[in-house]
């Protein structure tokens, strides 16, 4: 029996195909996949051929829930304090949105990111203003995952789901577990939830041990050879871990199919953030400046959240830059080797020598429910009329160099970013170089850049080593 999908409140949520950007005309269901036309498009791609043959197409759920009946002008008001405030009434202000969309009374705030200028980073990269959207300020895990966890738990409370399983490299599990722990402390035993963290065996023991505790079980799965487990196989594992307590009716696996929920939350954040930035630029009469947004790419959640948010918001002049670790990353399967070679040559010779892979374990996974979207991005280099999303690979040297700027002894310039989050900052210099070199008619010093810091969650020994080393370098 396949895992049952969960259908969102029919009156409020619609399903959107993320690949073609069209409404599917049905309520959002976590078991739904792309529209048939889009499946048709990617099934010939080499990466997906084997997966489709093993009937795992459902794992790639690339639709997102889109709320109906939200007054359009709410989305254009900048959503100030959207993620902190309690509702004052029904949909008169942006902060009314969350209680309206997630009616379960979670009572724990969703948290708030910070947005500020970092002049020393602008100077370092040779760019104009450099802003940071800092998500290390989220209170539960110190990472962007808190937004997603908040939405997931809200829905689980609403539908009385007790067992939540997810794939995690550490931070998604940490975030959901901490939130569940706080929730459990406030409710009678029958309303308490349990989290099951499914982790690849490449995740260090330190992270696994840190997660394990009351209301959190961890399981190590050896998927290194490329195995993708079906929803059914995962359920059977969770059922065994729970000693038979996790019955299907009260169980959700909140990775596949739930990615859209996280993505929806990031799209709200993206609107809030771009609106704020535009307002700030207007004050200094720089509203005509080109804005670049650099984001780290792991599974693609933040990237597609920004894409969706900007589509809805119509923020024309912002351009997205996907920062990836040099070497292994999710998009590698879609970028043909020839193109990689050419890129290296275009950069002025064989750069491959001397380039080393950075330490970015949160970004090196090969599986993402958003894989078809990432694939399409590399095929068309365009996404629903947004300008080309640029890709920058960051090597170890660039990662260490920028780490020293962010994690050095100077408190005023410190940013809480784990090595994987540093990849976005590591792309700054290369972006400035490309703007200068490509003759786009732009001066990098007139460009405005926003770097998205995904934060600092659980780190293994190799990640700690990078953090420590960068501090030594800066001294």
* Residue numbers at the binding site for Zn ion (CB under 5 A): 17, 19-20, 35, 38
* Nearest distance in Å: CB 59, Zn ion: 17
Contact assessment for residue 323 and residue 423, using Cβ atoms and an 8 Å cutoff: yes
158: part of which helix (H) or strand (E)?
A: helix 145-158
Distance of closest approach, residue 389 Cβ to Zn ion, in angstroms: 18
| Residue 62 or 171 with smaller CB distance to Zn ion | 62
CB of 39 to Zn ion, least distance (A): 8
Q: How far apart (Å, rounded) are the C-alpha atoms in residues 78 and 73?
A: 10
Q: How many helices (H) and strands (E) in the chain?
A: 16, 13
Tell me how far apart the alpha carbons of residues 12 and 101 are, in angstroms, rounded to a whole number. 8
Nearer to Zn ion, 66 or 96 (CB): 66
Relative to beta strand 390-394, strand 318-325 is: parallel
Q: Give the separation between CA 24 and CA 63, rounded to whole angstroms.
A: 9
Q: How far is the CB of 256 from Zn ion (least distance, A)?
A: 17
Q: CA torsion, points 70, 72, 75, 81, in degrees to nearest 10?
A: -50
Residue with Cβ nearer Zn ion (37 or 247): 37
d(C-alpha 270, C-alpha 111), whole Å: 15
CB of 34 to Zn ion, least distance (A): 5
Comparison of 38 and 153: residue with beta carbon closer to Zn ion: 38
Nearer to Zn ion, 55 or 384 (CB): 384
CB-based contact 463:359 (threshold 8 Å): yes
Residue whose CB is less far from Zn ion, 21 or 119: 21
Nearer to Zn ion, 20 or 404 (CB): 20
What is the separation, in whole angstroms, between the first and last Cα of the chain?
Answer: 59
In this structure, what token pair is assigned to residue 195? 């989290």
| CB 77, min distance to Zn ion, A | 30
User: Least distance in Å: CB of 63 to Zn ion?
Assistant: 8
Q: Which of 163, 180, 159, 188 lies closest to 247 in space, CA to CA?
A: 163
């Amino acid at each position: 029996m396949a895992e049952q999908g969960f259908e969102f409140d029919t009156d409020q949520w619609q399903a959107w195909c993320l690949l073609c950007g069209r409404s599917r005309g049905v309520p959002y269901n976590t078991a739904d996949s792309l529209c048939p036309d889009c499946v048709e498009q990617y099934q010939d791609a080499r990466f997906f051929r084997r997966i489709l043959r093993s009937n795992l197409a459902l794992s790639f759920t690339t639709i997102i829930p889109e709320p109906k009946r939200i007054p359009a002008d709410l989305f254009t008001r900048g959503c100030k304090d959207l993620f902190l405030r309690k509702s004052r009434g029904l949909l008169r202000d942006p902060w009314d949105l969350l209680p309206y969309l997630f009616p379960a009374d979670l009572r724990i705030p969703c948290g708030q990111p910070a947005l500020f200028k970092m002049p020393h980073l602008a100077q370092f990269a040779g760019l104009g203003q450099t802003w940071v959207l800092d998500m290390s300020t989220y209170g539960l895990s110190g990472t962007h995952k808190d937004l997603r966890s908040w939405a997931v738990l809200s829905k689980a409370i609403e539908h009385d789901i007790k067992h939540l399983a997810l794939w995690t490299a550490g931070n998604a599990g940490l975030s959901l577990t901490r939130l569940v722990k706080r929730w459990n402390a406030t409710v009678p035993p029958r309303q308490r939830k349990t989290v099951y963290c499914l982790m690849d065996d490449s995740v260090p023991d330190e992270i696994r041990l840190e997660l394990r505790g009351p209301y959190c079980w961890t399981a190590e799965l050896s998927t290194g050879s490329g195995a993708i487990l079906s929803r059914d196989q995962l359920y059977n594992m969770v059922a065994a871990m729970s000693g038979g307590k996790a019955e299907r009716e009260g169980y959700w696996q909140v990775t596949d199919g739930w990615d859209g929920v996280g993505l929806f939350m990031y799209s709200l954040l993206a609107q809030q953030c771009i609106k704020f930035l535009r307002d700030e630029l207007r004050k200094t009469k720089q509203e005509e400046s080109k804005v670049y947004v650099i984001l780290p790419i792991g599974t693609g959640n933040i990237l597609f959240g920004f894409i969706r948010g900007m589509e809805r918001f119509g923020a024309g002049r912002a351009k997205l830059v996907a920062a990836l670790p040099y070497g292994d990353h999710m998009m590698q399967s879609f970028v043909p080797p020839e193109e990689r070679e050419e890129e290296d040559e275009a950069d002025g010779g064989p750069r491959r020598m001397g380039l080393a892979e950075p330490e970015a374990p949160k970004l090196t996974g090969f599986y993402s429910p958003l894989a078809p979207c990432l694939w399409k991005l590399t095929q068309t280099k365009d996404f629903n009329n947004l300008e080309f999303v640029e890709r920058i690979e960051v090597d170890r040297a660039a990662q260490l160099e920028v780490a020293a700027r962010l994690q050095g002894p100077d408190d005023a310039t410190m940013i809480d970013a784990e090595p994987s989050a540093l990849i976005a900052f590591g792309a700054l210099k290369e972006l400035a170089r490309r703007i200068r070199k490509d003759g786009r008619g732009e001066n990098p010093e007139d460009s405005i850049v926003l770097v998205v810091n995904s934060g600092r969650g659980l780190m293994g020994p190799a990640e700690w080593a990078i953090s420590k080393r960068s501090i030594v370098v800066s001294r």
